[in-house]
Amino acid sequence: MRAISGCLAIVLLVAGCVSQVPAYVVSLAKGQTPQQLDNDKFDCNLQAQKQTDYNPDKSLTDGALVGLLVGGALGAGLGAAGGAAGGIVGTGASVGAIAGGGTGAVLGGSYLYDKDLNKTQRAYYACLETRGYTLTK
Domain holding 36, by residue range, is 23-54+120-137
- 86 with 50, same domain? no
- 88 with 110, same domain? yes
Asked if the structure places residue 39 within a domain, the reply is yes
Of residues 123 and 116, more confidence is placed in: 123
DSSP-H helix ranges across 53-88: 56-86
- pLDDT recorded at residue 101: 67
- pLDDT recorded at residue 4: 46
> Count of domains in the chain?
2
Q: Pick from 64, 89, 59: which is nearest to 77 by CA?
A: 89
Its pTM stands at: 0.54
Spell out a b/e string for 88-121, using b for 16 or more CB atoms within 10 Å of the CB, else e: eeeebbbbbbebbbebbbbbbbbbbbbebbeebb
SS3 at position 54:
coil
Average pLDDT over residues 54-78: 69
CB within 8 Å of 41: residues ≥ 6 apart: 26, 128
Q: How far apart are CA 121 and CA 47, in angstroms?
A: 11
Of residues 109 and 47, more confidence is placed in: 47
